[in-house]
Structure 1
Amino acid sequence: MSEDIQTQRQTQQEMMRLRAENASLRKYVERLQQTIRGLNDLHRSLDSITPDVDVYNLIHELLNHAIAAVGSENGSLLLLDDDSGELVFVDVIGASRGKLMNYRLPKGIGVAGDVAEKRQPSLVSDVTMEPTFSPMVDKHTGLQTKSLLCVPLWDGKRTIGVIEAVNMSTERSFDTDDQEVLMLAARLVSLAIVKAERVQSQ
């Protein structure tokens, strides 16, 4: 009889665990679907870029949607300074915004510098195990990076910069699905930047 009770308890515990896991997955899928809809809306708005359109605000919305989609509360857009080779923080989501805006990373420094040079995304679950990680930004902000996801921005053969998401807001780790979402956002940001440059040059 006691074995039956123990089995029932184990079954109930497993069912509770599965229900909690399913609820978490549903929330994640709902957030992802909402973000994709938002990115699609912003993609359509690229067609309306004119000299009067606030391109920075459009790009900020793209970044906001993307960072939320991958389950992070901290993210940055860094653009390449063609003259110096530095990466410049031009937009920041999260607590480090005040310290990071316009902050410059020397050429090739950190995961962001490596991604910009190789034009390949980088998914880092534990920065202490990543040889390209640099503590330079953490020392500047006082925050601790534990994990990050970084993807390149480019147009043809030209490197534009990178987008970086730092630390998950939950226990879930960054995965390849998050990388795909951030790559999509990076492509849209690249298109917005290039189109804005063309409009301004006309």
Structure 2
Amino acid sequence: MAPRSLASLAHALAAAPDLDHALIALGECLAELDRGASLALIQYDARRDMLRDRLTPVDGRVVHSIMETTFDHLPDTVRTRILAGGPFVDVTDRTADYARLCGFPTPLEGGVLAVRGMKVDGLLGAVLALYEPRKIFGTRTTERVAPVVALFDLAFARLAEREAREEAVRTLEDVTQRVHGEYVRKLSALEAELREVRKAPRDAAALNPAEAIALQAESARAREEARRAARQAELTSQQLTTAVSQLEQAHIELHRRSGALRQRTRTLHLLDRALTLDAETSDAKALVDALLALVGDDMQAQRCSLMLRAPEPDQLYLAAARGIAPNVVEGMRIRIGEGVAGRVAATRQPLLVQDVREASQHPLLRDQYFTTGSFISFPLVYHDELVGVLNLTNRAQRGIYTDEDVERVRLLGLMISLIASRNGLPERLLEVLHVP
């Protein structure tokens, strides 16, 4: 599968408004890999322990059908691995029967059925079934589709959490309306009874003692009922307040998880872009510039530079830069241990400064790579060998870099270190730059 298809799927899944659109995107990617394969998503009802709804992408749309079959129809070993989640597991016993059970009406001759559990909050939410022709040579479709399914798994969890949140809101609104209606009805009935009781004393002289006592008892009962109703309304109000608070916390947690899912999708997209550049670019200068632009755009750095290890002992040279002063030329050397990049190279520890004016203990490198503002200087190390230093500064819109950004740069820096070491970029680039 071309890397751009994986990036396109990541974008499509992140923008998918519902499960049908996400499943259509998954089906299109599967068609690019193997037009003879088919897939179906079977939703699982944990309360009834049943496989209930079957969703099958067909020609740009999703066909819904009712399944309503118990989960224990599948073999014990397969059920155990589905509940654990993770990679696809082959159904080798009675493949044709289980293929029909999963919604494949015309089984492929000699095909292979594989199933995979899709989990939400640690519990099984659905089963993804893939039916492919049996191959004598070549890689299995289930192996080639694994990165695609991993992205779909993230989108499935995000959509399932959003659906659960919307259902919780609807349930809370229904309960609130029902309790409020019952409270209003009972309160109206008690008010009517009280009005009748208050009118009774006008005719009390005409009542005998037994009737007067009964009337007083009825009045006392009505007052007690009113008191209980008011107390019940107060308790209901407290419960609703607690439920709303819990729902708000659930919204906050779901928002956090949605953000984490988006961050993972974004990271996968960047890694895919970096590997694509490595696979498609043979020119050393173009590869270095593209990698720096990739990191700089992702971190919103208006100024950034990449320094690589020079052949001379204890020296780095400027391999690529963006947004620096015009008089700073590529290929210029700095000594390890001097300036910001040199000190980071010497210690091999990342440096995060949120305001250069408060970082006088870190002298700037001739004031050419940084200005006042937040910056990150990160060492590139691969197999305990120094490869270079990555500098990012002047975040767009006066933003401040944080510890979370440093962790993100750590992953991207490791990818750049790997690509630079594998392609011998420090040595090849010097030849292209024509510097001694």
Query: What TM-score, normalized to structure 1?
Result: 0.69
d(CA) in 1 for partners of 2:270 and 2:364?
Answer: 33
d(CA) in 2 for partners of 1:170 and 1:72?
Answer: 10
Match of 2:304 in 1: 75
Match of 1:178 in 2: 405
Aligned CA RMSD, in angstroms, stands at 3.2
Deviation, 1:179, is 1.3
The one-letter code of the counterpart of 1:40 is D
The one-letter code of the counterpart of 1:122 is L
**Correspondence 1:89 to 2:318:** yes
Deviation, 1:128, is 2.8
Match of 2:137 in 1: none
Contact 2:376 2:393 survives alignment (8 Å): yes
d(CA) in 1 for partners of 2:323 and 2:262?
Answer: 22
Within the candidate set 333, 342, 350, 1:121 is matched to: 350
The one-letter code of the counterpart of 1:194 is S
Matched residue of 1:170: which SS? helix
Contact 2:374 2:399 survives alignment (8 Å): no
The one-letter code of the counterpart of 1:118 is T
Q: Could you list the per-position Cα deviations for residues 65-121 of structure 1 after superposition, in whole angstroms to 9, with x for gaps in the alignment?
A: 211111211100011224241221110012436624222222211221121111111
Q: Could you list the per-position Cα deviations for residues 38-59 of structure 1 after superposition, in whole angstroms to 9, with x for gaps in the alignment?
A: 332222553x37xx81233223
Radius of gyration: which is bigger? Answer: 2
d(CA) in 2 for partners of 1:137 and 1:36?
Answer: 36
- Counterparts of 1:182-201 in structure 2 under 5 Å? 182-197=409-424
Query: What TM-score, normalized to structure 2?
Result: 0.34
d(CA) in 2 for partners of 1:132 and 1:78?
Answer: 22
Structure 2 gap segments, 5+ residues each: 1-258, 429-436
d(CA) in 1 for partners of 2:265 and 2:304?
Answer: 20
Deviation, 1:176, is 1.9
Match of 2:392 in 1: 165
Identity %: 23
d(CA) in 1 for partners of 2:272 and 2:411?
Answer: 10
Matched residue of 2:396: which SS? coil
Deviation, 1:33, is 5.6
- Counterparts of 1:1-202 in structure 2 under 5 Å? 36-46=268-278, 48=279, 53-96=282-325, 99-138=328-367, 144-197=371-424
The one-letter code of the counterpart of 1:78 is M
d(CA) in 2 for partners of 1:136 and 1:154?
Answer: 21
Aligned CA distance change for structure 1 residues 169 and 30 (closer, same or farther; 3 Å): farther
Match of 1:7 in 2: none
Aligned CA distance change for structure 1 residues 39 and 63 (closer, same or farther; 3 Å): farther
Structure 1 gap segments, 5+ residues each: 1-25
d(CA) in 1 for partners of 2:413 and 2:407?
Answer: 10
The one-letter code of the counterpart of 1:178 is D
Deviation, 1:164, is 0.4
d(CA) in 2 for partners of 1:97 and 1:75?
Answer: 14
d(CA) in 2 for partners of 1:89 and 1:76?
Answer: 7
d(CA) in 2 for partners of 1:86 and 1:35?
Answer: 32
Aligned length: 169
d(CA) in 2 for partners of 1:197 and 1:114?
Answer: 24
The one-letter code of the counterpart of 1:81 is A
Contact 1:39 1:65 survives alignment (8 Å): no
Deviation, 1:185, is 2.0
Aligned CA distance change for structure 1 residues 63 and 109 (closer, same or farther; 3 Å): same
Matched residue of 2:302: which SS? coil
Deviation, 1:131, is 4.7
The one-letter code of the counterpart of 2:283 is D
Aligned CA distance change for structure 1 residues 136 and 121 (closer, same or farther; 3 Å): closer
Matched residue of 2:415: which SS? helix
